[in-house]
């Protein structure tokens, strides 16, 4: 057989190898749905008197029972669930905040015993001015803070969402939900 006849065959084999490798690499997928779904189920149980108000960036929350709101003024403070959480996700930076509404929000949170969490890259100054963020400066590692009751007073919970989580979240679209529910679980356990 002439040597030139091998060329197309060699090219075809090379093409097939490259194609298979590409498919293998593209097809590799990691998912950690199971433990997150378990967490979600535990919060959806009727025995846990839990309510979550969520405002902001669209994230995968699976089938967690959530009340979505479009503004802070839409949050209801006229009922008394045992564990009520407010989450504002401003990681996409699309929400503007007014000092007055945050001062009112802080008063309502303390009056009704709600827990509050903010996720974002900005606006920490106005949250500090409102009293929701006690530190003048945000931790260098953190992109979140919470204002929650422990014992008989409110403290800040910082680092629920950190820079590392933000970096790896593109490989795990349930990471936000997992970290949020881990924090809620800690908070429920400590106050129950």
**Residue 171 near another protein by CB under 8 A:** yes
3-state secondary structure 78-111: CCCCCEEEEEEEECCCCCCCCHHHHHHHHHHHHH
**In Å, what is the CA distance from 109 to each residue of 4, 77, 88, 105?**
80, 8, 14, 6
1 sits near another protein (criterion: CB under 8 A)? no
Site map (CB under 8 A) of another protein, residues 143-162, x = contact:
-------xx---xxxxxx-x
Which residue among 143, 175, 177, 188 contacts another protein (CB under 8 A)? Answer: 175
Q: Is 33 in the site for another protein (CB under 8 A)?
A: yes
Bridge-based pairing state of the strands 144-150 and 115-120: antiparallel
Q: How far is Cα 110 from Cα 130, in angstroms, rounded to an integer?
A: 13
Window contacting another protein (CB under 8 A); options: 23-31, 45-53, 57-65, 68-76: 23-31
The single residue listed with the structure tokens 């839409």 is 74
Compare residues 4 and 189 and give the one whose CB is closer to another protein.
189
Q: Which residues bind another protein (CB under 8 A)?
A: 23-24, 27-35, 134-142, 150-151, 155-160, 162, 164-165, 168, 171-172, 175, 178-179, 182-183, 186
């Amino acid at each position: 057989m002439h040597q030139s006849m091998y060329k197309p065959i060699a090219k075809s084999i090379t093409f097939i190898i490259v194609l298979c490798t590409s498919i293998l690499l593209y097809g590799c997928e990691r998912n950690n749905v199971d433990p997150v779904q378990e967490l979600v189920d535990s919060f959806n149980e009727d025995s846990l008197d839990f309510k979550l108000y969520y405002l902001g960036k669209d994230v995968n929350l699976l089938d967690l029972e959530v009340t979505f709101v479009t503004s802070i003024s839409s949050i209801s403070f006229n009922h008394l669930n045992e564990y009520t959480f407010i989450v504002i996700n401003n990681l996409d930076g699309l929400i503007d905040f007014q000092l007055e509404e945050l001062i009112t929000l802080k008063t309502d949170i303390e009056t009704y015993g709600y827990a509050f969490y903010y996720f974002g890259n900005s606006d920490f100054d106005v949250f500090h001015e409102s009293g929701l963020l006690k530190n003048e400066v945000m931790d260098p590692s953190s992109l979140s803070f919470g204002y929650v009751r422990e014992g008989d007073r409110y403290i800040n919970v910082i680092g629920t969402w950190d820079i590392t989580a933000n970096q790896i979240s593109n490989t795990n679209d349930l990471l936000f939900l997992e970290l949020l529910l881990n924090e809620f679980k800690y908070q429920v356990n400590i106050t129950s």
